[in-house]
Chain A
Amino acid sequence: MTTGSYIESIGIKLPEEKVSTQSIIDRMKISPPIKLEKITGIKERHFCSGDENTFSLAVDAAIDCLTYSSIKVHDIEMIIYCSISKFESDLSYYYEPSISTIVKQKIGANGALSFDISNACAGMATGIHIANDFIQRRVVNNCMIVSGEFISNICNNAIQSIETSPSPEFASLTVGDAGAAVILGKTANENGFEVLNLQTFSKYSKLCIGKLSTKYPGAQMFTQMQKLQKVSISESPSFVEQSLREAGLSYSDIDYMIPHQTAKRAIMAGAINFKEYFGSSPKEIIITVELMGNTASTTLFLALYHQLQQKKFRKEDRILLLSFASGLVMGVIVFKLNELVDKYGQ
């Protein structure tokens, strides 16, 4: 029997503090004010405060994930940490030791093989890709993929920095903080992921650059938003089609699609483009950006978690997670829901 992997449990952490889009606009110097909520559909997002930081978001998400898991913490065999941000509360950015070393110690998974990867907003999807290979080859029996995105500082820096519209820092105003964790378990291949395909379209790698700021604490992100959206819309349908075809599936087989959560209008434009290309639509395209903003590498799993808690899905529903990230990285993850639906929303 060949081995596959499946999503055994998911956990998240959202900071308590909610920040409205209006309050962000009110803090900006630009006049007339940007119609941020109208353009993005984002009403509010969560921001870290006090002692909250990358580490605490990741650790709390990992602990939440373990509460839904049948795997005990000391039995976790591998941890892959996947965030873009590695900020302490004072916005010091940690290069080493790796964050995975710290997370595994804090949660008590001391025996786990651990390392950090970085692939922009596709970090967790990339982590799943790697973990699946380790599990398929029976190097490990399970793996936790975890991320803590403390990225509100790029929003705060953009508020100070943006003086004209349009600005390459506009996308920075859409972000929110969150942690997410997923445990993959071992299963028979036919019950595992149906599609796990990621690809780097590197000719577009300069369309979004984030770096530690030399003007402010934290980071700044510079995005050519219109170009990035245009490229994503033009390249993604054929990439999804190819990914599904290789697994013997078609777009009409998908029940729910969860795309990377950037802005409502952009997601809707993508959905219309998909409908025109494929001639069909899933039952629903999941959008959660309204209340959480863009939480980078955690968005797909935040959205999946919330839908599970709301009992949106049934067993055997086929889910497509569509990852987009700077790089340009596109990723398609397809799986049928299993016992996961029974664990949430009780």
Chain B
Amino acid sequence: MGSKIETIKVSLPLFSFNKGYIPCAIRAAKKCLKKRGAAEQIGMLISTGVYREKHIVEPALSALILRKLIQKSFLCRSFSQDRFKKILAFDLNNGACGLIQALQIIDGYIQSGKIESGLVIAGDSLPKTGKTENYPFSQGAAAILLSKGGMEKGFVCFKTESYPQYKDDFIGYSHFTKGKRVLTIDVKKDFLDHTVRCALTSLDKFLDEEKMKIEDVDLVICSQYPDGFASEIRNRPDLKDKIIYPNGIKSGFHTSAPLFALHSIFKTQRFRTAKNILFLTVGAGITTSIALYSQ
């Protein structure tokens, strides 16, 4: 039995001076937990993102987000009723694939009955402090609430692969130089080709292992970075009509990209009638992660 997607919400920066991840994450999470009883049931909160607000390395950003949610009274009732209401919050980082591992962890805890529901929040910050060089990602956050699903439904399998021969293709790091903190993104020119090749290799392997054909998949929700990745994947004839990726202000995201894409179709007939939805992410490492969601 897999876990099902209860709801998904996104949030973009409201004002030019308020571009951080945490405010967006709080807004997205609040919207997710708006439904009566949702806040009381969550047992785990994972924040997944690579580039951290103000370069904060501790505590987990998820703890800071949880604190704000409680302060804003969203979870107060559950805490006052049961002091030991167990919420474990932590951060997960695996480049653009971190979202899939976060979903896999929450799905597992729900399956094993340790929690009733869990919240994953994804997004990246252009740190306000210091300089940045070649930072290509949009600001914003997305939250997804998972709860117990039905038999053979919900998230049914996950697969992650690494291609270490391309480990130097994409490196994001922060260093201190000439009295200033500088965030630098180094991308090799072949990164796009390699990500496309790795993603398609992993996809074919996944379908083979799961004894599925691409015809069995209705929608593919994929990473948005590197630029051109989704359109390159769409060039494969059997994937052409299945790829979902948003344009405009809801594009250009890193860790949260698949959630922004999912959000763009979540309430449409196209999503409701889809039986098998594949999440296909690719990022530094090169790492690919795939999740199959059935409904």
Contacts and interface: CB of A to CB of B under 8 A. Distances in A.
Interface string B85-122: 01111111111011001000100110110100000000
Interface string A311-344: 0000000000000011111000000000000000
The size bracket of the interface on B is 35 or more
B112 A118 contact: no
Given A101-B167, A203-B67, A205-B63, A91 B50 contact: no
Interface stretch (B5-13, B53-61, B244-252): B53-61
B162 interface: yes
A199 B108 contact: no
A328 B164 CA distance: 36
Nearest to A198: B88
B79 to A, nearest CB: 9
Contacts of B63: 200, 202, 205, 326-329
Contact of B130 (A92, A95, A214, A327): A214
Nearest to A85: B57
Mostly helix, strand, loop or mixed at chain B's interface? mixed
Contact of A133 (B97, B105, B172, B183): B105
Interface string A185-219: 00000000000011110110110111111101111
Given A101-B162, A133-B108, A134-B108, A92 B173 contact: yes
B58 A209 contact: yes
B109 A133 contact: yes
Given A97-B170, A118-B60, A242-B84, A91 B108 contact: no
Interface residues of A, number: 63
A139 B108 contact: yes
A214 B164 CA distance: 32
- Which of B50, B174, B183 has its CB near the most chain A CB atoms (within 10 A)? B174
Given A92-B174, A93-B173, A210 B57 contact: yes
Interface of B: 45, 50-52, 54-60, 62-64, 66-67, 70-71, 84, 86-95, 97-98, 101, 105, 108-109, 111-112, 114, 129-130, 160, 162, 164, 167, 170-176, 180-181, 183, 283-285, 287
9 contacts: A93-B173, A94-B172, A97-B95, A97-B284, A98-B98, A116-B93, A133-B114, A139-B108, A210-B56
